[in-house]
Amino acid sequence: MDKIVIEGGHRLEGKIRINGAKNAALPIMAACLLLHGPSRIKGIPNIVDIRTQIRILENLGGEIQHLEDGSLEIIFRDGENKEKITAPYDLVRKMRASVCVLGPLLSKRGKAKVSYPGGCVIGQRPIDLHLKGLKALGSDIETTEGYVIASASRLKGTRISLKGQYGTTVLGTSNVMSAAVLAEGTTIIDDAACEPEVQDLAHFLNKAGARISGIGSNTLTIEGVKELHGVDYEIIPDRIEAGTFMIAGAITKGEIIMENVRNDHLTATIEKLREIGVEITTNGKHTTVKSNNKYRPADITTTPYPGLPTDMQAQFMALLCTVPGKSVITEKIFPDRFIHSAELRRMGADIQVNVPCATINGTPSLSGTHVMVSDLRAGAGLVLAGLVAKGTTHIHRIYHLDRGYEQIEKRLSQLGANITRVKE
Of 123 and 348, the one with the shorter C-beta distance to ligand EPU is 123
Of 38 and 216, the one with the shorter C-beta distance to ligand EPU is 216
How far is it, in rounded angstroms, from Cα 355 to Cα 331? 8
User: Closest distance between ligand EPU and the C-beta of residue 334, in Å?
Assistant: 5
Of 32 and 170, the one with the shorter C-beta distance to ligand EPU is 170
Of 312 and 366, the one with the shorter C-beta distance to ligand EPU is 312
User: Closest distance between ligand EPU and the C-beta of residue 311, in Å?
Assistant: 5
Of 14 and 119, the one with the shorter C-beta distance to ligand EPU is 119
- What are the CB-based long-range contacts (under 8 Å, 24+) for 114-119? 114/86, 114/87, 114/147, 114/148, 114/150, 115/87, 115/88, 115/89, 115/91, 115/146, 115/147, 115/148, 116/143, 116/146, 116/147, 116/148, 117/92, 117/93, 118/93
User: Closest distance between ligand EPU and the C-beta of residue 391, in Å?
Assistant: 28
User: Closest distance between ligand EPU and the C-beta of residue 294, in Å?
Assistant: 31
User: Closest distance between ligand EPU and the C-beta of residue 289, in Å?
Assistant: 21
User: Closest distance between ligand EPU and the C-beta of residue 285, in Å?
Assistant: 27
Of 88 and 164, the one with the shorter C-beta distance to ligand EPU is 164
Residues involved in catalysis: 120
Residues that bind ligand EPU (CB under 6 A): 23, 26, 97, 123-130, 164-166, 169-172, 197, 309-311, 333-334, 376-377, 404
Of 209 and 381, the one with the shorter C-beta distance to ligand EPU is 381
User: Closest distance between ligand EPU and the C-beta of residue 126, in Å?
Assistant: 4
